[in-house]
Every structure is written in C-alpha cells, then in structure tokens.
Structure 1
Amino acid sequence: METLKSSTLQLRQLTKRYSNFEAVRNLDLNVPSGSLLTLLGPSGCGKSTVLRMVAGFLNVTSGEILVDGQDISRVEPNFRDIGMVFQNYALFPHMTVESNIAFGLKMRGVSKDEQAVRVRDVLEMVQLTHLADRYPSQLSGGQQQRVALARAVVIKPKLLLLDEPLGALDRHLREGLQAELRDLQRKLGITSILVTHDQDEALYLSDYIAVMNGGCIEQLDTPIALYDRPQTEFVARFLGVPNIFPSKVVSKSEGEVVIELGGQKVVVPTTEAKPVGSDCKISIRPSHIELVAQDDARMGLVSVINSAHELGERIVYHCEVGGHKIEANAPRTSNSARFAVGQAVKLLLDPAHTILLRD
C-alpha cells in the first residue's frame, strides 16, 4: 500500500456543551500534515469528546473542524473520509478477516478487483495474510486489533483516529503493537490523532502531545519537551513528577530567579516574570538530582536520607528538606556512591531541569 497524501487538521474554538456543562471549551489545535498527535489526559478531561467531534459522532456546539482548509464540522460521518480504530475493535463477528477489511471499500463502491488488491496489500502490511479466512472469534486480541487497523487504513482516509486502540491488551502485547502502529503510521504518512490516558504510550508514539485538563489544552509540545519541561503543576503531576515544591522568589536577575526551599536557596533558570517575594512552585524529576556527601563544596540542599530502595537499575532515595519530601534516583552500579538511611547528604539540583511552574 502506497504512502497516502497527508492532510492537515485544524480545530478552531471547538466547543461541546451539555446543558450547563462544557466538556470542551474554545479549543484551538493544529495537527501538522503526516504527524501523529496524542490527546493525553485523565478520564473526563475532554479528549474522547474532541475525537468524536472530529469523527462526526458528536455534534459540535460551536467552532470549526478544518481538514485541508475545509470545514467538515457539519458533514455526516460517512462523508468525512476518516478512518477510526476503537478500543473494542468493533469487528463484525459474522464476517471473515478479509470481509471485515473490505467492508468500507464495498460501501464506497470500489470494484471487486480493486478491493482484492487493496485488501491483499493491507493484510501483508499487518502480517495477517495467513488469517484472511478466519473469523474474529478465532483471533487473539492483538490480531483483532491489527484487523481493525487494517480496516481503517484500507480506505485511504485523510485522517486516522485512534481511540485508546491498545487499551484492551496486556502490557507485553501492547508494547509490541505500539512499535507496529508507529511504523505503519510513518510508512503511510497519514495524519493521525491518538487518544490515551497512558503517558508512556503517548511519549513513545507521538510527534506531538496535547495534555488536556477540564476541556482545555494545558500544554502542547513534543514528547521530549513535555517530559523535560512541564509548564504547570497539573502537567507535571500527570507525567509522574513526584518533586513539586511550594517556594518563594527571594531574588532575580536576567534569565533566572533564586528561590527559597526549606530555608535554603536554589537558582532556577526562567523566562517567567516573577516578582521578588512572590509565591511559586518548582518541579524536578528524581533523575535530575545528584546525591553527594554533605561536605561537597557545590551549592545544594542539605538533607538526610529517610529511606533507600533498589529498583532495577536505580536506587530510589527519599529525603527531606524543611518538611518537604524529595525523591532522588541514583544509578545502581558498582562504582556509584551509596548512602545509608539516616546519613546527611547534599542534593544537587540540575538547574537545566529545575522548572519554575506557571500559575
């Protein structure tokens, strides 16, 4: 199956209102041609509502859905030229794999000869040629998901929508299919939107991630930028940053502020216009904190080890500074320093990864 013509998707002031409740509020979003963008967030944040409005399964209260510059927000779902993959596969149980995949082509009036060629090509792509005559009940969960994906792309849609597509699979199988899904999306070059609440899946699959909260986009970024530099407390907590501390700006200079944490000072690079004396919050991942001996001459936070646990290739230390609990990770190697519970240490916070969160 050849590379598809990539489309662009724009959402402008997209809103979905139920009586007095706004599930999605004035949402603006541009999905670059050929990219995979993930809507990430907890249950109830509005991500599936956005996907279903794009698919046409939910009516838009206000706003526009533009595909290649054309507003499709009032177009019926079957005329939107969109492929969709659901968590529960939604395969026809009385049809074979081949018939399930060919169904969309048949509904579009594609000739039988063309159907045969395109179904054959997509079966090869998802490695299911040998199962063409089987029924869904005779397939594993992973095989059923491949059929659902093949059925979505065989029609050569302008957009591919993926609603928790791997959520029903066990972790081992899900991780294997993540790689296959990403390879297929890149090979076809099809503009795609994925909905998931799984941050690891989003970070692995996406070109861009939009973290949603309360019907709005809290932060839109590349996976690396989002992981390294969450902008708000909600995003930091959702992406699993355990170290988030209330603090106060005690001084500032161009490109950085000095904040106070537990009576001790930390330098934080920032472009935020935070006035001296204002309250703030900072975040830092455990892997960006280095533990050293207390008498180390470098600037850091003096602390005490409360607990230490060996987890795979790392040691997780729990410390405390001025009543604030801090988690720090160290590699579990033969030449790495080890610290005992109750031992006084100094915590060196990597300035490049100490984030002053936006209010």
Structure 2
Amino acid sequence: MWEDLVQTLQETTGLPVSRRDVERALGALKATEDLWENIRLSRVPLRVLVELWRVLQEKGLLRVEEGLALTEAGRALAQEAPLPGEAFCPACEGRGVLGARLPGRARERFLAWTQRRPPAIQDYDQGYVTPESTLARVALAWAWGDLEAKEILVLGDDDLTGLAAALTGLPKRVVVLDADPRIVRFLEEAARAEGLPLEAHVHDLREPLPETWVHAFHTFFTDPVEGPLGLQAFVGRGLLALKGEGCAGYVGLTHVEASLAKWAQFQRFLLENQAVITELRDGFHLYENWDYIPSMRAWPWLPVKRLPEKPWYTSALIRLELLGTPSLPNEPIQGDLQDEEATTY
C-alpha cells in the first residue's frame, strides 16, 4: 500500500516522493490532528502533503473535520510509521545557542526595535522568523568567528539579521540588500538612532551585484527563495560577494518548500562552487505567522481552513565555508524564482 501511495503521489504532483516521505507524513498524522503541526512534524513538502491527505481521504483512511484524523483502517496502515520525537532543549528551542549571550545588550535593544518593524507582506514573499531565531543565528556566527571585525552582507532582511549583528558592536561593517524600500528605510532609521556601522540599499537580487560588492565581504546571511533560480539569486550572489577561502555564509532552507531532491541539488551547487557545509541545524528558525496566510498559494488546497494558533513554519540553518573562489557569473537572472514546490507565496 505504501508503494502504491508513493507512485500515486509522484504521478499526481510530478515531484520527487519517497517511501520515507510517506512514512514521516503518516507518523505525523499519528502524533497530532492539527494540520499545521502535521506540516511541521512531517518534514515533507506541503505540495506533497496536501495530495497525500486527499488520497488518504478518498480511500477512507483519513477523516477531515476540524482536523486530520486517521480512521481505523488508516491507523492500521500507519502502524509501522514511527512517531516523530520531540526531545529538543526547551531553553534554546533546540538551536544549541542563545542570543541572550550576545554582547552589547544586543538582545534587549534588538527586541525593542522589532516592535516597530514593517509587517510582512505578500508582495515580497515575506515572512520573518522570531526575534529569538534571528538572535541565535547571529550568535552562531559569533561562535564560528564570522562576526567580530568582519564585513557582513545580508541578502534580503525582513528578519533584521543585519540590525541584530550590528547591535553587538562586533562587525566592522554591515550591508543589507533588500527589494522592499520599507525595510531599507527602517534599517537606516535604526542605524542612525543607534550609531551603527550599518547601511541598507534597495536592490533586486535578480540584477547583478555592483562591482563594489563583489569579493568584498567575509560573511553573508540569506533566507532564499527556494526555487532553483531563487537559490541562484540569493545564495549565488552571496557566494560571489565573499572575499575567498575561509569566508562563510549562513543559509536558511525548509522542508515545507524544498524536497530532499532539492536539498541534494543545492549541495551539488555548493560543491561546484568551492563551498562546503560545515554545520546544519534543522528546525533552527521558527517563523512568526504572517497575515496573508489565507491568500497564499497553498490555502485553497488545505482540507481544513483554520488559521494556525502557533508558529508552524520552520527552516534549517546551514553554515557553509569557501575552500576557494567560486566562478559564478554576475549576470541578470531571468525567469520565475519560485518553482512547483513553492506553496507560501
């Protein structure tokens, strides 16, 4: 039966689906009836999950009411699927680092500024991580020596990573590139008020980097659009901006909109461009629920139309380091940055 489900999902979605994906999804259904918790626990692209739920319901294996409940036959099918474990440290929410330990009263000052940030809007496919996620991201870079006395580039920054980094007083310079003028104006205001070595510029990453930003930074941060062209635009520009060997990048990558086949494609892209993954912490970033959930792409597909009551969207934090200088073209990127696995834009 599981193999039949895999084949059906591959045919109906046109996406890569494995037996392990079905196992994880069934295990999540055993653990909770809440749709949003199912998405978080499954670690399977949402585009695949909604189709699996539809097929299970059609076969009488899943009952959809206020939530998602396996029927008796469904529970029998899922008997061998392991329950997802929840054994994360409550103090750091499983991240392994604490932003509260950043110097310069950075956490206190950063939290005050986040109360005034522009809201996430669909025009720019925005959705920001919790303040503690941002602070922990910066803390991990500090632990690796990628922050102090370094020149930092942030590609897309509704998470305000550049501000959090600058507030520590550690970087030599922080530059933020964002397509949203509201974010740029907000960061400029914060930099003036706090006297920070932070500058922000409106820039569409589909366009080439100005030469002054090529091979000019020690560290970059980005949460990319996860289509192949999106990864090229965000991560490729980040790699191009690094000075060379020993420089580092911090990249967010989800399971909700990125299959493991896409993860493999991303890893090949890194290796081809002289970059190696030195650390990967799954579920590191927890996202605040954005206001436009009812108008995102996946909403019509969801079998239960209820807004989430707590954060559900997560992404891994990947640290990469250059072994040499990548040979990437600094050219315009044509085409849609999203792909068929995209669901939240």
Instruction: Note whether the superposition's TM-score is higher than 0.5.
Output: no
Q: Which has the higher strand share?
A: 1
User: Scaled by the length of structure 2, what TM-score is found?
Assistant: 0.25
User: Scaled by the length of structure 1, what TM-score is found?
Assistant: 0.25
Q: Which has the higher helix share?
A: 2
